[in-house]
Amino acid sequence: MASDARIPQGSPSPYARPRLSLSFWTFGLINNVLYVIILSAALDLVPPSTPKGIIAFANIAPAMVSKVVWPYALKGRIRYAQRVWACTLLSFAGMIIVAASPSLTLRLLGISLASFSSGLGELTWLQLSTLYNASGDDRRGLGYFASGTGAAGLVGAGLWWVLRGLGVTTGVGISSVLPFTIPLTYHVLLPAPSSFPPSHNPPSYAPLPTSSEEAEDTGAEASGLESKVVSSSLSGADKWTLVRPLLLRYILPLFCVYTFEYTINQGIGPTLVYPVPTAEAHPVLARIINSVRDYYPLWQLVYQTFVFLSRSTLSLGLPPLPARLLALPSFLQALILLLLAYESFHGLLSSDPASLAAVPLVFALIALEGTCGGLAYVNAFYHVSQESSISTTPGPHRRKQEREFRIGSIGFGDTSGILLASLLAMPAEVLLCDAQARRGKMICKTL
């Protein structure tokens, strides 16, 4: 973490806010981009006879384990610098194993290591954002991290499109150096929390009395002094007390949104295929779709674009979704799932297998799907980061631990939803494709 020791307390560095924004955007981008690259490379990573869903499972299950286990297993304060290097080396090792090994088993092991690192990394950056984002006046850390995770979908897919021509070994091998961007950003670019005015830190986040304590908590280089502040760690009972109010308010909406969202992406989306348009009847669409195989990449591009835009709302200065409306994206996502499933099963506007009438509607629904998912993500984490401490235990360090735990504890909601969706998507795709075949639409059977 870059040092701002010469900046007086209460007087922000002229470049502190841009550095904070760029740092957290980079953290979000690099932390999630390997996940996207692995999914994009799924066809190249496994033999033709192997279900591609095994890649999706290996790419999400370890991340869920890290998000579920780590917040509860952690005792005491977070050593951010150590976590940064652990995540970097795990990601690097995982990608090298994927690149160097022809064995499916070893490749799945490498994917699992990178997945665990991604889950732990997301947890780490969300928790670190509470050091900068606690007051609500400056939500750059969380907002730009969410924007970076949204950009990862577009950047990762585009990067693999460029690298895949080099082959799996070279393409994934080149990708393995990306994680080293994170410690470089953390130690060189990211400003210390003390770079910001005290007004950006509420009382529960006031700096601790010793400089060594602040350096240790934020991952900055230790000053060599022993901290004189002693505070108890959160117990299991404390953590349950903290997480219980979050279950219905944040975790359940995230779980529902992502279950519906990834069921659409992995189960329904592949069946939303239509005849190739002609230039005479559909001049614009014909420039985009040259093969029936182009529909699914188009839906994914639309989805990723609107995820990026909606996850960037805080960083663009737009107001957050009111807390009372946090459940709205999950209801909309359920409606979108039903409409798209019906379109695939029977046809919303026409049951004619040759009709392209529903393509604009599908485009709009998938754009709304991405928007709902992005808004649910960024607003859930924003609102939980703004909740005041419920601790009766005095001391800023204790309240700091509570903030870090709360924002870290809700992360498994989206990940567990994605994991469940990966299990639901496979039978859903088969069912819908069979239904299309029964009404004479055989396109999905040829893919």
At residue 364 the predicted structure's pLDDT band, cuts being 50, 70 and 90, is very high
For residue 443, give both structure tokens.
Answer: 């396109």
Q: Which fold has domain 9-197?
A: Growth Hormone; Chain: A; (1.20.1250)
CATH hierarchy code of domain 232-447 = 1.20.1250
pLDDT at 398: 79
Q: What is the pLDDT of residues 385-442, one digit of tens each?
A: 887 655 555 567 778 888 889 999 998 899 999 999 988 988 999 899 999 999 888 8
Q: Is 396 exposed, middle or buried (0-12, 13-18, 19+ CB in 10 A)?
A: buried
What is the DSSP track for 171-195? HHHHHTTGGGHHHHIIIIISPPGGG
At residue 199 the predicted structure's pLDDT band, cuts being 50, 70 and 90, is very low
Quick one: average pLDDT of 229-237?
68
195-199, 200-204, 371-375: least confidently modelled range: 200-204
Map out the domains of the chain as residue ranges.
9-197, 232-447
> Quick one: DSSP state of residue 104?
H
At residue 4 the predicted structure's pLDDT band, cuts being 50, 70 and 90, is very low
pLDDT at 321: 94
36-45, 151-160, 198-207, 374-383: least confidently modelled range: 198-207
Q: What is the pLDDT of residues 132-171, one digit of tens each?
A: 854 444 578 999 999 999 999 999 988 988 888 888 889 9
Q: Please give the Cα distance from 153 to 157 (Å, whole number).
A: 6
Indicate if 232-447 has the same CATH topology as 9-197.
yes
pLDDT at 280: 87
pLDDT at 202 over 90: no
263 or 53, which is more confident? 263
Q: Please give the Cα distance from 112 to 258 (Å, whole number).
A: 20
